[in-house]
C-alpha cells in the first residue's frame, strides 16, 4: 500500500517498512543482496540506493497523467497555436539535445587525444634517448595525476558521476529518481572526469559516460526553466512533468551512444533495447532525429579537424574502423569457427560479469570509508595499470618490420601499428603497439586487415589476460568509466588469437576475427543483440559481415544467459535500485494483489481538516493518499481518487481554508492557482513540508481536496493476480495503483500498490515459504 512508497523524509533517513526482510536462505541472500549492507538499514528496499559511488535516497517518478480539475481546465483553455508551440518545442529540444551531445562528445575526444597524445609523445621521446626509467616515471606520473584529479572530482563534487551511468539512466527511465542522477554537477564531473580517466590510461571507455552525459544534457534542457533565476519561459512550463522529461532523457541516452560510436541508428536501437522501459512510435521519430543531428555535428567537426586544426587529434578520436576494404568471403568452416567464438564469448562474458560482481562488492566496502579512500583506490589501480602498460612490453620479442608497408615502421609519433619501444631500428614491439596507445587506437590496430603476422600469438595472449583482468579491476573505482571499450579490447584480442590458430581452416582475415570476437564478448557481457550488431556494423562499415555478427551475438548471449544476467542488470541489482522487470516473477502467480499491501492505510476525506493533513504529511513520507468521499457528500463511502503529496503542500501553502466542512469548489482554487503552480520543480527543488507555516487556529479549519485530486487513478481488484498487476504497473509507468475490494460494503479502497510492493525482498519477506524460482 502507500506506506511502502519510495520516499524519504527527515533529512535522508529511510522510513522503515512493515513486513520487509531478506530471504531466510543464506544462499539466496548472497546471490541477491544489494551492495547496501543490511547493517546499514533494516529497510531492504527501495528508499536508499547507490548512485554512482555514493548512497543516497531515491523515490519514484510520476509518469501517470494527474487528471484533476486544474489539469482539465488547463487543457480546455489551450488553443491550437499553443498546442502547435508545444509540438514545435519538443522537436526543438530534441535538436538542442543532439547539438549539445555532439559538441560534448567531440570535445571529449579532442581533449583525450591531445592529453593522452602529449603524454605518449613525451614517453616515446625519453625512450628514444634510452632513458627508460625516467620514461616510466613520466608515464606513471602523468597517469597518477590525471587519475587522482578524476577521482577527486567524483569523490568531492559529484559521487553520482562515478561508473558508467547506464544503470542509473536505465533505472530513471524505469521510474526511479534520485536528486543527483542527472544534476548539473553530475554533468560537469561526468565530462571532465571521463576525459581525465580515459587520458590516464585506465582500461575503460568513454562510451558509457557519454550515455549518462547525453541524459544529463536532456534533463538540463527539460527542466522547464528556473523561476529562481527568472529564466522561465511560459512555453517551457509544459515540460515540468516526468512524462516529457522521460522522453527527452531517452533521446539524450540515444544521442550519447551516437556521439560515442558515430552510430546514429545504433543509438536509437540501444535506447529501445537496453535503456528505455516505455516506448512509442512518436518517441522513435524524435530519437532518430536527435541521433541524426549528432551524426551531422560530428561529421562537420571531423572534416574541420582533418585539416590539422585540432592539435594531436587523430583518426582514433572518434572511433571508426573501416573494414570495407577487406575481402570478405566465408564458407561452412567459417561458420563453425564463428560458433566457437560465440561459445567462447558467452563463457568469458559470463565469467567477466561474475568477477565484476565480486570486485564491486569489495570496492563498495572501501568506498564507504569516505572520499580519501576512493582516491587511494583509484591511485592504486592507476599505478597497477601503468606498471602493466609499461612493463609487459619488455616481455615481448622485437619483430622485424614487414616489407612493402605504406606506413612508416617503426611508427614515429603518438599512434600507429608499429611502436619501437626498446627495439633496434627496423623492428617494432607488438605489445607496446597495443599498450602504449589510446584504447581507440589499440582497437584500430587489432581490427586492421591484412596484418595477420603483425601480432604474435604470445603477444595477443598476454594482452588479452592483462586487459581482461584490468577491465575487471578498473570498473568500480571512483571515476566515470564505461565497459564497452574493455570488452571490445578483450574480445578483439581473443578473436585475433582464434584467427591465428585456425587460419588454416578459415579464409577470414584476422581483422574480421577480431570484429567477431568483440561482438561475441559484447553479447556475452551486456546481452544486447540488435543494438550491438548495428553499432559494430556502423563502426566497421562492413555490411557483408552482418550474418556472422548476428550469429555470434545470438550464440554468445544464449550461452551467457545460462550463467547469470547481463552486466547492467547485475549492477542495477547490486546498487539496490528497485527496477521493475518487463516480466513478472513466477512466484507472483501464486499471490494476489491484496496479499502484499500492508497497513495502516492513510486516507483523506474529500473535505479534510487541515490539522489531519498536516499531521499525515509530517508523520509519513508517503507520496500519494486516497481521497474518500463519505456522507453527507456521497450516499455511501466511495473512492474519489488520489491526491499527491506535492500538490497538498502547494494547496496548504496557499491557505485556501474554510471554517466549515463544506466544499469550496474548483473555482476558488482556479482563481488562486494554475496548473503550472502544481508542476514538478526542476532538479527536485520543490516545496518542502518545512516551508509550511500553519497557525494553530488554521489547524482546526478545513480544506477542499477535490480540485487537486486525480479522479482517474488506475485500480485493480484485490483478487487480481500479482503477476498481472506487476505487468500492468510497469507497462503503464505507474507510481500508485489502488487496490479495491471485491465486494462492496466496507472501505472503498484496500490499499495502494507502489514499486516497493513488487520487489522480491518485500514479497519474500512477507512470505518466506515461497520458492523464488517457482
Q: Do domains 2-52+590-766 and 79-305 have the same CATH topology?
A: no
pLDDT beyond 50 at 46: no
Gap between the Cα atoms of 420 and 125, Å rounded: 11
Gap between the Cα atoms of 652 and 392, Å rounded: 68
| List of E strands, 272-397 | none
**CATH 1.10.3080.10 correct for 332-367+438-574:** yes
- Number of other CB atoms surrounding residue 87 within 10 Å: 11
| Grid cell in block for residue 553 | 551475438
Instruction: Report, as an integer, the average pLDDT of 426-448.
Output: 85
Gap between the Cα atoms of 26 and 168, Å rounded: 28
Q: Which of 30-44, 148-162, 354-368 has the weakest average pLDDT?
A: 30-44
pLDDT beyond 80 at 324: no
What pLDDT is stored for residue 743 in this prediction?
A: 85
pLDDT in tens, 148-157: 999 999 999 9
Using pLDDT thresholds of 50, 70 and 90, give the confidence band for residue 326.
low
Using pLDDT thresholds of 50, 70 and 90, give the confidence band for residue 715.
very high
What is the secondary structure of 726-762 as a DSSP string? HHHHHHTT-S-EEEE-SSSSS-S--EEE-GGGGSHHH
If you average pLDDT over every residue of the chain, what do you get?
84
Q: List all residues 6 or more positions away from 672 whose beta carbon is below 8 Å from its beta carbon.
A: 654, 656
pLDDT in tens, 584-626: 888 899 899 999 987 678 999 989 999 999 999 998 888 899 9
CATH of region 79-305, choose from 1.10.3080.10, 3.30.499.10, 1.10.620.20, 3.40.50.620: 1.10.3080.10
Gap between the Cα atoms of 579 and 35, Å rounded: 15
What pLDDT is stored for residue 12 in this prediction?
A: 35
505 burial class (0-12, 13-18, 19+ CB within 10 angstroms)? exposed
What pLDDT is stored for residue 319 in this prediction?
A: 56
Q: Which of 48-62, 195-209, 425-439 has the weakest average pLDDT?
A: 48-62
Query: At CA 628, angle to CA 623 and CA 632, rounded to 5?
Result: 150
Q: List all residues 6 or more positions away from 119 whose beta carbon is below 8 Å from its beta carbon.
A: 138, 139, 142, 143, 199, 201
Q: Which of 112-116, 249-253, 321-325, 468-472 has the weakest average pLDDT?
A: 321-325
What pLDDT is stored for residue 659 in this prediction?
A: 87
What is the secondary structure of 467-501 as a DSSP string? HHHHHHHHBTBSSB-BSHHHHHHHHHHHHHHHHHH
| Grid cell in block for residue 244 | 516529457
**What are the phi and psi torsion angles at 153 (to 5°)?**
-60, -45
Q: List all residues 6 or more positions away from 284 whose beta carbon is below 8 Å from its beta carbon.
A: 268, 272
Angle between helices 207-221 and 484-501 (to 10 degrees): 150
Query: At CA 568, angle to CA 221 and CA 681, rounded to 5?
Result: 25
| Grid cell in block for residue 732 | 503503464
What pLDDT is stored for residue 4 in this prediction?
A: 38
Greater pLDDT, 766 or 15: 766
- Asked if residues 739 and 613 have their Cβ atoms less than 8 Å apart, the reply is no
Q: List all residues 6 or more positions away from 354 whose beta carbon is below 8 Å from its beta carbon.
A: 563, 564
What pLDDT is stored for residue 632 in this prediction?
A: 78
Q: How many helices (H) and strands (E) does the chain have?
A: 26, 16
pLDDT beyond 50 at 45: no
Peptide bond into 410 cis (omega under 30): yes
pLDDT beyond 60 at 252: yes
Nearest CA among 687, 384, 342, 294 for reference residue 524: 342
Angle between helices 510-526 and 546-561 (to 10 degrees): 40
Percent of the chain with pLDDT over 90: 41
Instruction: Report, as an integer, the average pLDDT of 26-35.
Output: 43
Distance of CA 81 to the CA centre of its chain: 36
Gap between the Cα atoms of 258 and 294, Å rounded: 7
pLDDT in tens, 53-86: 677 778 888 888 888 888 888 777 778 887 888 8
Q: Which stretch of DSSP H or E encloses residue 57?
A: strand 54-57
Nearest CA among 502, 536, 506 for reference residue 520: 536
pLDDT in tens, 80-130: 887 888 889 899 999 999 999 999 999 998 899 889 888 988 888 888 888
Q: Which CATH superfamily is domain 2-52+590-766 in?
A: CBS-domain (3.10.580.10)
Q: List all residues 6 or more positions away from 213 whose beta carbon is below 8 Å from its beta carbon.
A: 101, 104, 105, 165, 187, 190, 191, 194, 256
| List of E strands, 121-231 | 176-177
> What distances in angstroms separate CA 148 from CA 140, 153, 375, 378, 473, one per listed residue?
12, 9, 6, 7, 17
pLDDT beyond 50 at 521: yes
Give the start-to-end residue ranges of the domains of the chain: 2-52+590-766, 79-305, 332-367+438-574
pLDDT beyond 70 at 260: yes
pLDDT beyond 70 at 572: yes
pLDDT beyond 90 at 20: no
Angle between helices 510-526 and 332-367 (to 10 degrees): 50
Instruction: Report, as an integer, the average pLDDT of 449-457.
Output: 80
What pLDDT is stored for residue 214 in this prediction?
A: 96
Amino acid at each position: 500500500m502507500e506506506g511502502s512508497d519510495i520516499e524519504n523524509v527527515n533529512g535522508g533517513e529511510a522510513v522503515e517498512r512493515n513486513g520487509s526482510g531478506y530471504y531466510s536462505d543464506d544462499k539466496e541472500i548472497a546471490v541477491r543482496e544489494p551492495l547496501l549492507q543490511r547493517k546499514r538499514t533494516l529497510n531492504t528496499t527501495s528508499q536508499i540506493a547507490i548512485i554512482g559511488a555514493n548512497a543516497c535516497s531515491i523515490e519514484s517518478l510520476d509518469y501517470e497523467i494527474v487528471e484533476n480539475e486544474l489539469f482539465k481546465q488547463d487543457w480546455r483553455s489551450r488553443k491550437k497555436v499553443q498546442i502547435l508551440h508545444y509540438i514545435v518545442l519538443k522537436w526543438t529540444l530534441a535538436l538542442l539535445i543532439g547539438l549539445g551531445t555532439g559538441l560534448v562528445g567531440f570535445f571529449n575526444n579532442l581533449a583525450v587525444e591531445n592529453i593522452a597524445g602529449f603524454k605518449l609523445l613525451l614517453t616515446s621521446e625519453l625512450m628514444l634517448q634510452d632513458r627508460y626509467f625516467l620514461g616510466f616515471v613520466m608515464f606513471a606520473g602523468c597517469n597518477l595525476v590525471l587519475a587522482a584529479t578524476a577521482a577527486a572530482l567524483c569523490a568531492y563534487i559529484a559521487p553520482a558521476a562515478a561508473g558508467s551511468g547506464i544503470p542509473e539512466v536505465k533505472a530513471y527511465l524505469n521510474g526511479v529518481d534520485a536528486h543527483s542522477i542527472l544534476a548539473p554537477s553530475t554533468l560537469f564531473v561526468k565530462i571532465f572526469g571521463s576525459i581525465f580517466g580515459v587520458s590516464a590510461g585506465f582500461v575503460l571507455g568513454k562510451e558509457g559516460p557519454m550515455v549518462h552525459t547525453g541524459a544529463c544534457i536532456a534533463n538540463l534542457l527539460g527542466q522547464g526553466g528556473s523561476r529562481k533565476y527568472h529564466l522561465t519561459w511560459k512555453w517551457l512550463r509544459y515540460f515540468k512533468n516526468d512524462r516529457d522529461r522521460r522522453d527527452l532523457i531517452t533521446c539524450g541516452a540515444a544521442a550519447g551512444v551516437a556521439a560515442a560510436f558515430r552510430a546514429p541508428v545504433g543509438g536509437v536501437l540501444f535506447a529501445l533495447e537496453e535503456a528505455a522501459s516505455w516506448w512509442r512510435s512518436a518517441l522513435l521519430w524524435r530519437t532518430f532525429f536527435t541521433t541524426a543531428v549528432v551524426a551531422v555535428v560530428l561529421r562537420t567537426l571531423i572534416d574541420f579537424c582533418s585539416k590539422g586544426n585540432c592539435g594531436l587529434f587523430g583518426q582514433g578520436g572518434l572511433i571508426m574502423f573501416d573494414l570495407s576494404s577487406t575481402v570478405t568471403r566465408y564458407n561452412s568452416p567459417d561458420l563453425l569457427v564463428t560458433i566457437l567464438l560465440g561459445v567462447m564469448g558467452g563463457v568469458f562474458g559470463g565469467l567477466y560479469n561474475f568477477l565484476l560482481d565480486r570486485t564491486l562488492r569489495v570496492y563498495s566496502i572501501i568506498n564507504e570509508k569516505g572520499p580519501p579512500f576512493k582516491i587511494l583506490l583509484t591511485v592504486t589501480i592507476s599505478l597497477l595499470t601503468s606498471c602493466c602498460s609499461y612493463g609487459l612490453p619488455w616481455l615481448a620479442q622485437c619483430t622485424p618490420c614487414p616489407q612493402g608497408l605504406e606506413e612508416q615502421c617503426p611508427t614515429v609519433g603518438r599512434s600507429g601499428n608499429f611502436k619501437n619501444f626498446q627495439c633496434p631500428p627496423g623492428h617494432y614491439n607488438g605489445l607496446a603497439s597495443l599498450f602504449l596507445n589510446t584504447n581507440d587506437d589499440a582497437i584500430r590496430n587489432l581490427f586492421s586487415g591484412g596484418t595477420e603476422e603483425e601480432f604474435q600469438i604470445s603477444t595477443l595472449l598476454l594482452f588479452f589476460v592483462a586487459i581482461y583482468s584490468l577491465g575487471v579491476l578498473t570498473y568500480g573505482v571512483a571515476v566515470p568509466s564505461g565497459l564497452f571499450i574493455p570488452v571490445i579490447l578483450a574480445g578483439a584480442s581473443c578473436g585475433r588469437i582464434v584467427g591465428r590458430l585456425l587460419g588454416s581452416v578459415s579464409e577470414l582475415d584476422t581483422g574480421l576475427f577480431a570484429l567477431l570476437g568483440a561482438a561475441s564478448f559484447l553479447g556475452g557481457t551486456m546481452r544486447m543483440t540488435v543494438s550491438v550488431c548495428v553499432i559494430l556494423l556502423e563502426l566497421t562499415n562492413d555490411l557483408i559481415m552482418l550474418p556472422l555478427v548476428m550469429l555470434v551475438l545470438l550464440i554468445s548471449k544464449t550461452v551467457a544467459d545460462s550463467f547469470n544476467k547481463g552486466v547492467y542488470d547485475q549492477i542495477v541489482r547490486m546498487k539496490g535500485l528497485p527496477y521493475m522487470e518487463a516480466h513478472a516473477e513466477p512466484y507472483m502467480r501464486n499471490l494476489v494483489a491484496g496479499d502484499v499491501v500492508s497497513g495502516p492505510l492513510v486516507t483523506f476525506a474529500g473535505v479534510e481538516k487541515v490539522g489531519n493533513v498536516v499531521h499525515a504529511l509530517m508523520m509519513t513520507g508517503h507520496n500519494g493518499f486516497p481521497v474518500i468521499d463519505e456522507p453527507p457528500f456521497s450516499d455511501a463511502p466511495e473512492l474519489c481518487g488520489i491526491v499527491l503529496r506535492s500538490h497538498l503542500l502547494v494547496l496548504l501553502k496557499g491557505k485556501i481554508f474554510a471554517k466549515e466542512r463544506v466544499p469550496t469548489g474548483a473555482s476558488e482554487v482556479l482563481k488562486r492557482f494554475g496548473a503550472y503552480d502544481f508542476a514538478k520543480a526542476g532538479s527536485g527543488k520543490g516545496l518542502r513540508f518545512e516551508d509550511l507555516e500553519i497557525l494553530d487556529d488554521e489547524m482546526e479549519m478545513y480544506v477542499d481536496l477535490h480540485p487537486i485530486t486525480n479522479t482517474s487513478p488506475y485500480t485493480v481488484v484485490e483478487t487480481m493476480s500479482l503477476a498481472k498487476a506487476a505487468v500492468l504497473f510497469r507497462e503503464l509507468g505507474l507510481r500508485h495503483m489502488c487496490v479495491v475490494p471485491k465486494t462492496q460494503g466496507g472501505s472503498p479502497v484496500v490499499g495502494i500498490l507502489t514499486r516497493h510492493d513488487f520487489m522480491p525482498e518485500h514479497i519474500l519477506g512477507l512470505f518466506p515459504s515461497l520458492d523464488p524460482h517457482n
